[in-house]
Amino acid sequence: MGNYNPQKIERKWQKLWQTYRTFKARDASEKRKFYCLDMFPYPSAAGLHVGHLRGYTFSDVIAKKRLMEGYNVLHPMGWDAFGLPAENFALKTGIHPAISIKKAIKNIKRQLILAGFGYDWQREIITCEPDYYKWTQWMFLKLYKAGLCYKKEAPVNFCPSCKTVLAREQVINGKCERCDSSVEKRHLEQWFFKITDYADRLLNDLNEIDWPERIKIMQRNWIGKSEGVTIRFQIPDFKYQIDVFTTRADTLFGCTYIVLAPEHPVIENLKSKILNLKSVEKYIAEAKKKTEIERLAEDKEKTGIELKGIKAINPVNNREVPIFIADYVLLEYGTGAIMAVPAHDQRDFIFAKKYNLPIIEVIKPESGKSPLPEIAFLEDGILTNSGPFSELNSARAREEITKYLKKRNLGGKVVYYKLRDWLISRQRYWGVPIPIIYCPKCGQIPVLEKDLPVLLPKIKDFRPTGEGKSPLAKVKKFVQTKCPNCGSLSSRETDTMDTFVCSSWYFLRYTDPKNKKEPFKGSKIKKWLPVDLYIGGAEHAVMHLLYVRFFAKVLKNLGFVEFSEPFIKLFNQGIVYRHGAKMSKSKGNVVNPDYIFEKFGADTARLYELFMGPAEQATEWSDKGVVGCFRFLNKTWDLQKKLKTNIKNEKIEKLIQKTIKKVSEDIENFRFNTTVSALMVLVNEMEVIPPTITQYKTLLKLLAPMAPHISEELWQRLNNVRVNPRSHQRKFTSIFKEKWPRYDERLIKEDKFTLVIQINGKVRDKIELEADISEEEAKTLVLSREKVQKWIGENKIKKVIFVPGKLINFVI
Ligand code: ANZ
Ligand code: ZN
């Protein structure tokens, strides 16, 4: 029998599973489907570290369990292969991205196979291959023809180091997500997807999906729906007026000045009247240099300048108020102008103090004392100093004041969103060419579907130009083309698409990866979609995870799919830390799984990924923990030498039943760490009391999703099957074709008892509990009962008497 030697068995099973297509997803099967999806990786030259492996291990456990539960499982893998990292890597090394990407994919695929993951490799997709990106271009055309795609000059975020524009989402604290350089604002013509058309649907449908609340909140905030009012301030002796946006119309009587964004177009029209124009222009120039984040920073001092010589009129009380410009007001939000109410908005309060502007209290708290005049009072309350609206509460007053304004054509309700259209064009080489042609006669013309794909030319000099133009612009052979309409000599669009476009629909292609006629067959989508479980990192909360939802909704609207939410359930795995920091090559704290595979085997690596801590929490990697898991597998292995052929031991049988229940439930709830520990307890017990073959087989089935190689090997040994991976004569039935064990409810029930609950010695309640419950747990459960709480009331508990298996008495 020998000792446990993972090197001897793991490769063998990996080959056999592939040969026999054990994890193949079957389009024709009648079984219930389960689509289990991982966020596909970016193929980086460094390969995967154990942090990356964590989420993949989780999804693999669930996929394998589903298979044993009799589902037809789709568990695919592919490569998000276009984009800046590959291109930047290529620029550094001089190796063309098409080559380096292939190498990186090969290496990571090797790692994933060595880990024993059950991907259906027949469905592998690579986004930088023409047979994939042809359909990315097709998607672009569908959006274009549906009016959801347009080109426009816009102020955009430009990274001077990456020499390309960035989506708003790719700017973190004013810096480029990729290279950390400060991002500049530039005015450039760019392509956009009209995601804002879907803002409401993206918001409302969040209620339908089983996603972590944290991600939902981030998406809600990112979409940023704000229901408020626009209010019109007239500028006397002048035909201009200024509309402000506010969510607090109830505070209108407290408005003592208004503020415009420095870029507000009305300023241009007012120039001749502004007495301090020089200083104003200087201020505007300064503001333009700052990023949005800098401008909105809470802790930053608020600056501004008055437009001297002009006043505006507050429409409810006809009071004249001064007009300022200040960079804390953004042009792109609301109307780009605000009414300032220093008594009830802290930013305005600070600003008013600084520039000596009046602060008028118009809202009093319903009870208690207002924090004014020290700081602004921000909450709703009762109106004061507000003419006919005084004494109304804030909610009522908002309605009444809005009505008043509406009647006089001075305002009305509006809804604004923080969400902006998705900027998808990039001035970089390594991406999908945008399928548009510019004809001198016909103008902007989409490439015909039959002419797709527009191939990305292989070029040697793919360095970014930095002039807001893609390096493709220098490639004559690419640029020059004929107009599909009139045949005139025309030129191609040379920008490429943001890689997030590639990843917005990849999960659909897995259902039909080799289709040459369509991106996917409708019947296959119907069979497999939506995805039942999606696992990946939380860092994608407002980019990828919003974009895919948008794509699904568009495709549904266009009739290509029947669902509008692509992922029913989402799980975000916790990050793996080492030496207190997230693993990264630059910090030198990366653990390479290859090393763990070689030294302990993939099963140990997997088990440790599961065992290291709660699945959704960040956890520190520990080499000791790895050894512990290796030891556990050794014990499991050695048990095969001790099996009894008959006579079940009652104690072991009961423990097995309990373990089946625990493992089954804990896997469903992503409590993998307690799943592993339950199996450890069982194996320890089996070392003392040897199990029967049947009992041991149950253990192997429970272990199989987590440690597939050892489980398969031991399973086949018990069935006397020796399979040789080189000669395929001997068929075998994989453990993954076995049924997931069920437990016997009756055998578990016996382990409960009734705890009598007394208060001051009198019986007041009873509760059914697990036999092995601890005193602490029992106490917490009992105290949370309504009846018990009523009896104890406000009294202090002086003493607790706990008799295990019988009663608990509270002395009060
Ligand atoms: C007057 C007021 C009084 C406001 C008060 C608040 C409290 P949300 O909920 O985020 O939409 N605002 C409007 N447009 C702005 C812009 N372009 N740049 C910066 N700030 C802007 O916030 C709406 C509030 O944000 C608006 O309501 C406005 O300030 C400010 F006691 O108007 B409020
Ligand atoms: Zn033409």
The set of protein residues with a Cβ atom below 6 angstroms from ligand 1 is 226, 245-248, 251, 261, 329-330, 333-334, 336, 338-339, 341, 344-345
Same fold, 226-416 and 750-811: no
What residue has token string 């592939």? 18
Average pLDDT of the chain is 92
Long-range contacts at 361-367 (CB < 8 A, ≥ 24 apart): 361/254, 361/385, 362/250, 362/251, 362/252, 362/253, 362/254, 362/386, 363/250, 363/251, 363/254, 363/394, 366/393
pLDDT at 688: 94
Query: Which residues are close to ligand 2, an ion, with C-beta < 5 A?
Result: 439, 441-442, 483, 485-486, 488
Q: Which CATH class is domain 750-811?
A: alpha beta
For residues 345 and 251, give the distance between their C-alpha atoms in angstroms, rounded to a whole number: 10
Residue 150 CA to ligand 2 center (angstroms) comes to 19
> Which of the pair, 744 or 77, is modelled with greater confidence?
77
Name residues whose C-beta falls within 8 Å of residue 82's C-beta, 6 or more positions apart in sequence.
127, 128, 133, 430, 431, 432, 496, 499, 502
pLDDT, tens digit, for every residue of 234-284? 998 788 899 999 999 999 999 999 999 999 999 999 999 999 999 999 999
Q: Which of 231, 260, 338 to mutate to test the pocket of ligand 1 (most atoms within 8 A of CB)?
A: 338
> Which of the pair, 782 or 155, is modelled with greater confidence?
782
Name residues whose C-beta falls within 8 Å of residue 450's C-beta, 6 or more positions apart in sequence.
none
Q: Which of 247, 370, 383 to mutate to test the pocket of ligand 1 (most atoms within 8 A of CB)?
A: 247
The pLDDT-based confidence of 308 (bands split at 50, 70, 90) is very high
Q: Which of 246, 316, 321 to mutate to test the pocket of ligand 1 (most atoms within 8 A of CB)?
A: 246
Residue 340 CA to ligand 1 center (angstroms) comes to 9
pLDDT at 401: 97
Q: What is the CATH number of domain 226-416?
A: 3.90.740.10
Residue 372 CA to ligand 1 center (angstroms) comes to 20
pLDDT at 292: 67
| Ligand index nearest the alpha carbon of residue 491 | 2
- The region of weakest confidence among 196-200, 299-303, 655-659 is 299-303
Beta strand 762-770 pairing with 752-759: antiparallel
3-state secondary structure 724-753: CCCCCCCCCCCHHHCCCCCCCHHHHHCCEE
Residue 729 has pLDDT above 60, yes or no: no
- The region of weakest confidence among 511-515, 565-569, 608-612, 640-644 is 640-644
| Ligand index nearest the alpha carbon of residue 347 | 1
Residue 74 has pLDDT above 80, yes or no: yes
Atom number in ligand 1 closest to CA 340: 1
Q: Please report, for the chain, the start and end positions of each structural domain, with discontinuous segments joined by +.
A: 226-416, 624-747, 750-811
Sort 713 into a burial class: Cβ within 10 Å, 0-12 / 13-18 / 19+. buried
Nearest CA to 180 among 321, 84, 268, 91? 84
pLDDT, tens digit, for every residue of 652-679? 999 999 999 999 999 999 999 999 999 9
The pLDDT-based confidence of 356 (bands split at 50, 70, 90) is very high
pLDDT, tens digit, for every residue of 79-105? 999 998 788 888 888 899 999 999 999
pLDDT at 540: 86
| Ligand index nearest the alpha carbon of residue 335 | 1
Fold classified for 624-747: Isoleucyl-tRNA Synthetase; Domain 1 (1.10.730)
pLDDT at 730: 64
Atom number in ligand 1 closest to CA 332: 17
